[in-house]
Amino acid sequence: MRVLLAEDDPLLGDGLRAGLRQLGFLVDWVRDGLAAEAELRAHPYAAAVLDLGLPLKDGMDVLAAIRRAGITLPVLVLTARDALPDRIRGLDVGADDYVVKPVDLNELAARLRALVRRAHGQAQDCLTARDVVLDPAARAVLQAGVPVALSAREFDLLHTLLLNAGRVLSREQLEQHLYSWGQEVESNAVEVHVHHLRRKLGSALIQTVRGVGYVVTREPAGP
Amino acid sequence: MPRPRSLQGRLLALVLGVVAAVWGVTAALTWLDVRHELDELLDSHLAQAAALLVVQQAGEIEDDQPAVDAPSLHRYAPKVAFQVFHDGRLAMRSSNAPAQPMLAFSGRATTGFRTVELAGQTWRVFAAHGRERDTQVFVGEQVDSRNDILWAVLRSGLTPMLFALPLLAVAAWWAVRQGVAPLRALGRTLAQRQPQALEPIAVQGAPAEMAPMLDALNGLFGRIGALMASERRFTADAAHELRTPIAAIRAQAQVALASVDDAERTHALRATLQGCDRATRLVEQLLTLSRLESGSAPALGPLDAVAVVRQVVAEAAGLALGKRQALALDAPASLSVHAEGVLLSVLARNLVDNAVRYSHEGASVSVRLRQTAGGAALTVEDSGPGMSAADIEHLGERFFRVVGSGQSGSGLGWSITRRIASVLGAQVSVSRSASLGGLAVTVQLGSAVHS
């Protein structure tokens, strides 16, 4: 899952980025409000972690701006301001969750996963399609109850497709979900990962819509 | 501390005392007036009676008749007496009159009022004689009886007053009590007030005399409220500001704990230590600021600014060398200023630390002390990134930081600098450094000679 981290403090930003990466997130880190807004407008992040005391543009203003722009991604506000009016205002402006510093990295990750899950209309933490179950918290995939070993990229690709089950995602969209900044996108990378996934999970799960992209359906297509 | 006297008691004593004094004076004046009038009236009656006796004696007294004792006809009769002498012989007297003349007279007729002692009693005696001077009449009246009348008059006047006095005391007590009720209400309100409650006090029915006190009290509450609000804001700001380094320490420690990669773990542990250093520095700054804001004004005196600044520069040299910066002090051998050593040292350290911290590797930082017309000027310049005019305006606001400095800090250093400058009576000016291109901060210190 690719998330945007907006935090101006060098030490905290560095720690959060490293911690979320350890927990399987792809993290892009910006240090001021203007950059945060620009990135959120430019890329389809699964979620954003937003500090409120951001330089150049306050986190609350960034949040209000992207909500006005119709960007609906889940936003977790991470802040030192814990007064009740601040929390209420944050939630009213459009935050999906409000976490006061300091925060446990595992809790932060769990909250982000929950936000993403709910944003895709999922009530359960595990994503299911046919006989495949994906557990985002454990980063594990089971097929018919048997664990399947996937690389990090393959897991992220399957996760993205499952979250968007029924929707066709283009190669470019998938690339944006799979790679944070500075990561070299190998040519045909998505095709290669899909190929590997099909080999490991069977060819029926991920279907190709020629000229458009890939899609996962939860149930086998009807006769 | 002596127990304060009750206002109510004082007012009551004053009112009753004045009333009693007025009554006393009234009674005394009445006494004098009544006695005077009574004396005149009764004296005139004595004279009248004497005249009647004289006239009556003119043709009635037989020379050889023995002295006649007039009958006593009235219960007051014993208190009055008369004697009629004819040719030196007692011709007639009242039953209580002595045989001897009430006034000594040696054949010579006498006339007029006298007050004499007769048989242990004080008498007022009027003497009169006939035209031929053969009849001498004495009419006397016991002074006691006059006093009795006087007392009766005074009694009738004073008795109601004596009964009224307790009633008046009660009434005055009640009135005074009503009068000081707003004071008691204020006392109760203040006693029951929570220490946090600082809204203005309003006392129902407070008289105009209490308005200045209430105004002063409410003004005080207002000032205390402002002070407490500023303290609360500071505490809240400080607590929030501490959350970020703590969050960083926690995140980095968690990363280190979960890391399987040695390089990553080392990086995270280093960052954890940096976070601790930062939190420590922040706490020190907060304590310094708090001491500066709550402490009393320190004693300023003459001291050598060069020695203080040299020490500060020496301490900062380690950090500057680590960043391969050129840090130099340019100052005369000594320069006496009017300041306080510790504060000047903290001030200089803040300026030098900021310059070193916010300037890039290999930058130049110059510290200069110069004698000026008004005292001495301490200038710290650097070749760092400098600040925009807008950022310079925000300097000194608590927790303001320049964006993109890449340095973690709280912005408290500037608040402290400003605060110390105001305590020392120094002027701080911030500008672009003409020689080095970065930031130039000048502190104008007062001269030791001037003060």
> What confidence tens digit (pLDDT) does each residue in A117-175 have?
888 877 777 888 888 999 888 889 999 889 999 998 899 899 989 888 888 999 888 88
pLDDT: which is higher, B216 or B403: B216
> CA B129 to CA A78: how far, in whole Å?
129
> What tens digit of pLDDT does each residue of B231-268 get?
777 777 677 778 888 999 999 999 999 998 999 999 99
Q: Report the chain B residue with the minimal C-alpha distance to residue A56.
A: B403
Which of A71-85, B59-73, B125-139 bottoms out in mean pLDDT, i.e. has the lowest?
B59-73
Q: What pLDDT sits at residue B296?
A: 64
> What tens digit of pLDDT does each residue of B7-51 get?
778 888 888 888 888 888 988 888 888 888 888 888 888 888 888
Average pLDDT of the residues in A46-60: 86
Residues in chain B with CB shorter than 8 Å from the CB of A55 are: 401, 403-404
Give helix then strand counts, H and E, for chain B. Answer: 9, 13
Q: How far is B260 from chain A (nearest CA, A)?
A: 9
Can you read off the two tokens belonging to residue B251?
Answer: 């995140």
Average pLDDT of the residues in B387-391: 74
Please give the mean pLDDT across all residues of chain A: 87
Cβ–Cβ of B406/A56 closer than 8 Å?
no
User: Residue B409: pLDDT above 60?
Assistant: no
Q: Report the chain A residue with the minimal C-alpha distance to residue B270.
A: A11
pLDDT: which is higher, A204 or B298: A204
Secondary structure of residue B132 in the 3-state scheme: coil
Chain B interface includes A177 (CB < 8 A): no
Q: Find residues 93-132 of chain A whose CB sits inside 8 Å of chain B.
A: 100-106
A14, A32, A102 ranked by CB distance to B243: nearest:
A102
Residues in chain B with CB shorter than 8 Å from the CB of A82 are: 240
Predicted interface score ipTM higher than 0.90: no
User: Residue A206: pLDDT above 80?
Assistant: yes
Cβ–Cβ of B250/A102 closer than 8 Å?
yes
Please give the mean pLDDT across all residues of chain B: 81
Q: Find residues 65-84 of chain A whose CB sits inside 8 Å of chain B.
A: 80-83
Q: What pLDDT sits at residue B436?
A: 84
Q: What pLDDT sits at residue B59?
A: 60
Of chain B, the percentage scoring pLDDT greater than 90 comes to 10
> CA A203 to CA A195: how far, in whole Å?
9
Q: What pLDDT sits at residue A218?
A: 77
pLDDT: which is higher, B357 or B310: B310
For residue A187, with 0-12 CB atoms within 10 Å meaning exposed, 13-18 middle and 19 or more buried, which class applies? exposed
Chain B interface includes A8 (CB < 8 A): yes
Given pLDDT bands bounded at 50, 70 and 90, which one contains residue B397? low
Q: How far is B396 from chain A (nearest CA, A)?
A: 16
Average pLDDT of the residues in B291-302: 74
Cβ–Cβ of B258/A102 closer than 8 Å?
no
- Which residues pair with residue B439 across a beta bridge? B432
User: Residue A112: pLDDT above 90?
Assistant: yes
B241, B252, B407 ranked by CB distance to A15: nearest:
B252
Q: What pLDDT sits at residue B88?
A: 75
Cβ–Cβ of A102/B278 closer than 8 Å?
no
Q: Residue B227 contacts by C-beta under 8 Å, 6 or more apart in sequence?
A: none
B245, B251, B259 ranked by CB distance to A16: nearest:
B251
> CA B365 to CA B327: how far, in whole Å?
5
Cβ–Cβ of A55/B259 closer than 8 Å?
no
Chain A interface includes B422 (CB < 8 A): no
CA A95 to the chain's CA centroid: 16
Q: Cα–Cα distances in Å, from A171 out to A180, A182, A199, A205, B42?
A: 15, 18, 19, 17, 141
Given pLDDT bands bounded at 50, 70 and 90, which one contains residue B315? confident
Pair A116, A129: CB distance under 8 Å: no
> What tens digit of pLDDT does each residue of B414-441 get?
777 888 888 888 888 888 888 888 888 8
The dihedral region occupied by B235, where left means phi > 0, alpha psi between -120 and 50, and beta the remainder, is: alpha
Q: What pLDDT sits at residue B15?
A: 83
Chain A interface includes B185 (CB < 8 A): no
Cβ–Cβ of B248/A12 closer than 8 Å?
yes
Give helix then strand counts, H and E, for chain A. Answer: 8, 11
Cβ–Cβ of A55/B401 closer than 8 Å?
yes
Cβ–Cβ of A104/B250 closer than 8 Å?
yes
> CA A8 to CA B245: how far, in whole Å?
12
Q: How far is A9 from chain B (nearest CA, A)?
A: 6
**Full-model pTM:** 0.57
What type of residue is A18?
A: A
> CA B379 to CA B384: how far, in whole Å?
15
Given pLDDT bands bounded at 50, 70 and 90, which one contains residue B74? low
Q: Cα–Cα distances in Å, from B238 out to A57, A204, B149, B363?
A: 22, 58, 91, 32
> CA A67 to CA A64: how far, in whole Å?
5
Q: What pLDDT sits at residue A15?
A: 94
Average pLDDT of the residues in B142-152: 84
The residue of A7, A9, A11, A81 whose CB has the most chain B CBs within 10 angstroms, and thus the best one to mutate to test that interface, is A11
Q: How far is A142 from chain B (nearest CA, A)?
A: 25
User: Residue B60: pLDDT above 70?
Assistant: no
Q: How far is B360 from chain A (nearest CA, A)?
A: 16
Task: Cis check for the bond before A55: say yes or no (omega within 30 of 0).
Answer: no
User: Residue B303: pLDDT above 70?
Assistant: yes
Q: Give, as one character, the DSSP assignment of residue B407.
A: -
Q: What pLDDT sits at residue A223?
A: 42
> CA B417 to CA A185: how far, in whole Å?
50
User: Residue B353: pLDDT above 60?
Assistant: yes
Chain A interface includes B255 (CB < 8 A): yes
Residues in chain B with CB shorter than 8 Å from the CB of A103 are: 247, 250-251
Residues in chain A with CB shorter than 8 Å from the CB of B403 are: 8, 31-32, 55-56
Task: Cis check for the bond before B160: say yes or no (omega within 30 of 0).
Answer: no
Can you read off the two tokens belonging to residue B246?
Answer: 């703590």
User: Residue B451: pLDDT above 50?
Assistant: no
pLDDT: which is higher, B271 or B121: B271
Can you read off the two tokens belonging to residue A107?
Answer: 């809790």
Q: How far is A135 from chain B (nearest CA, A)?
A: 20
Q: What pLDDT sits at residue B204?
A: 76
Q: Report the chain B residue with the minimal C-alpha distance to residue A79.
A: B244
Of chain B, the percentage scoring pLDDT greater than 70 comes to 87
Q: Give, as one character, the DSSP assignment of residue B79.
A: G
Q: How far is B170 from chain A (nearest CA, A)?
A: 58
